[in-house]
């Protein structure tokens, strides 16, 4: 009996030791995989340029100041959209082409489109249109400078007009003027009717040689969000930070395997610029120029094109903070004490008012400093001066333009 018990104990011990050995090997392999992943990440981080690592560590205010957009002294045929570093040279692209700007929300995609629009506003032979089927929320800064189409019916009617009237008329011109169409909402393609989508395909396939160019913003690159007959027509792609490798492959296809990896960018504002010429070289991380919506709204258009219904001047009028003073004259009512007008405002105060006007929420001093690229104390001084003039009101979560002032401005 003792022999059988000893034999059973030996067999049980052998199975237990085998189980422990297998568990130890599994834990060892898992630890090795983790260590290999950490080593690969550290090697990848070490291969990144020093400027890219420093850019990821800078605060937002410093980035907006170092890489802020500034107007050029003379208009060139190419537009600068990024820099190679805080003191590096500018990266330029040809605006006379279909341009795709990709990046998730907050990656700097809309700022890049605003930089392109600012160049078009300063060019005498360029006109601009902004399309947004969501009541104009994403193109609010373009109002007053170019036609803004904020309904799907208006966008579809404009596409039909382009195909049936404007493109044939441009074909008869020796040098047709340039028209850029800014679309910062990729969901427009999913809401267009089948006939309007065919018109858009016709515009993008035949419009470039006739001077019509599409500047398209895409925040969710999927195979079903943009049809292939449209996606393949973009000859320039400005790819900001993406979240997944799948999204990167939709935007850049097989180039991801060659090192074009926007999903590995370290911070918003970093991007990759793809053109047919650059595709043959190694990818270079550049840093997009920052242009806030408020500053774009404050720019003056220098080109000749502006539809009358979109070209009404915006005049900001400040009424007196005191109540109306009424006199007991003979049949004459008292008049309101005259106030200061927008002509007495400084340029910084006008930019602050424009930023508050296009913002979808009240802005604090830190938000305004980030929008204008200035120090926080200077932004606070500007808001205090505007509040004393009665042009802005202070809410619980920041400053905003009062409703009565917005009515006077309209």
> Judging by beta carbons within 10 Å of its beta carbon (0-12, 13-18, 19+), is residue 123 exposed, middle or buried?
buried
Under 8 Å between Cβ of 156 and 203: no
Which of the 8 DSSP states describes residue 183?
Answer: E
Distance CA 45, CA 41 (A): 6
pTM of the predicted model as reported, rounded to 2 decimal places: 0.67
C-alpha angle with apex 53: 50 to 55, nearest 5 degrees? Answer: 105
User: Which pLDDT tens digit goes with each residue over 184-206?
Assistant: 876 677 788 889 999 999 999 99
Given this model, what pLDDT does residue 43 score?
55
How confident is the prediction for the chain on average, in pLDDT? Answer: 79
Give CA–CA dist 266/249, Å, rounded.
Answer: 18
3-state helix/strand/coil string of 307-328 = CHHHCCCCCCECCCCCCCCCCC
Instruction: Extract the tokens encoding 321.
Output: 């903070």
| Higher pLDDT, residue 69 or 346 | 69
d(CA 203, CA 173): 17
Q: Which secondary structure element, helix H or strand E, spans residue 381, and what is its range?
A: helix 376-389
- Distance between CA atoms of residues 356 and 359, nearest Å: 5
pLDDT of 161 reads 93
For 101-115, what is the mean pLDDT? 90
The two three-digit tokens of residue 286, written as one number: 């550049």
Domains located in the chain, CATH noted: 51-298 (3.40.50.300), 313-323+338-409 (1.10.10.10)
Residues in the chain: 410
pLDDT in tens, 210-264: 999 999 988 878 777 777 788 888 989 999 989 888 888 888 887 888 778 888 8
Query: Do strands 99-102 and 79-83 pair parallel, antiparallel, or not at all (unpaired)?
Result: unpaired
Asked whether residue 331 carries a pLDDT value surpassing 80, the answer given is no
Smallest CA-to-CA distance from 65 within 240, 233, 291 is with 291
In sequence order, what are the residues at sequence separation of 6 or more whose Cβ sits closer than 8 angstroms to the Cβ of residue 94?
77, 78, 236
From first CA to last CA, the distance across the chain in angstroms is: 103
Expressed in percent and rounded to 5, the helix, strand and coil fractions of the chain are: 45, 15, 40
């Amino acid at each position: 009996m003792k022999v059988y018990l000893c034999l059973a104990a030996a067999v049980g011990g052998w199975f237990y030791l085998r189980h422990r050995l297998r568990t130890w090997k599994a834990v060892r392999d898992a630890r090795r995989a983790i260590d290999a992943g950490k080593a690969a990440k550290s090697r990848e981080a070490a291969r990144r340029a020093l400027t890219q690592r420093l850019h990821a560590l800078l605060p937002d205010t410093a980035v907006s100041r170092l890489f802020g957009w500034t107007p050029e002294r003379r208009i060139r045929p190419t537009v600068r959209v990024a820099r190679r570093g805080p003191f590096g040279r500018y990266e330029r692209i040809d605006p006379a082409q279909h341009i795709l700007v990709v990046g998730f929300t907050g990656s700097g995609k809309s700022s890049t489109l605003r930089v392109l629009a600012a160049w078009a506003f300063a060019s005498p032979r360029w006109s601009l249109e902004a399309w947004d089927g969501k009541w104009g929320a994403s193109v609010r800064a373009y109002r007053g400078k170019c036609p803004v189409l904020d309904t799907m019916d208006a966008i579809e009617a404009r596409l039909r007009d382009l195909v049936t009237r404007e493109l044939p008329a441009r074909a008869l011109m020796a040098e047709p003027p340039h028209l850029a169409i800014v679309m910062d909402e990729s969901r427009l393609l999913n809401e267009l009717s089948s006939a309007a989508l065919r018109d858009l395909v016709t515009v993008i396939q035949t419009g470039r040689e006739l001077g019509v160019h599409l500047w398209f913003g895409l925040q969710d690159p999927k195979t079903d969000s943009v049809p292939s007959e449209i996606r393949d027509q973009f000859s320039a792609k400005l790819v900001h930070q993406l979240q997944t490798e799948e999204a990167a492959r939709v935007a850049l296809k097989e180039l991801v395997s060659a090192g074009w990896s926007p999903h590995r960018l370290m911070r918003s504002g970093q991007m990759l610029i793809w053109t047919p010429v650059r595709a043959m070289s190694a990818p270079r991380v550049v840093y997009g120029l920052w242009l806030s919506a408020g500053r774009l709204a404050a720019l003056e258009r220098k080109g000749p094109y502006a539809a009358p219904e979109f070209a009404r001047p915006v005049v900001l009028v400040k009424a007196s903070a005191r109540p109306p003073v009424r006199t007991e004259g003979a049949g004459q009512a008292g008049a309101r004490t005259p106030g200061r007008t927008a002509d007495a405002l400084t340029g910084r105060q006008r930019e602050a008012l424009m930023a508050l006007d296009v913002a979808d929420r009240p802005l604090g001093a830190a938000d305004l400093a980030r929008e204008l690229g200035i120090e926080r104390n200077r932004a606070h001084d500007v808001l205090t001066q505007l509040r004393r003039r009665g042009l802005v009101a202070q809410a619980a979560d920041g400053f905003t333009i009062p409703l009565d002032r917005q009515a006077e401005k309209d």
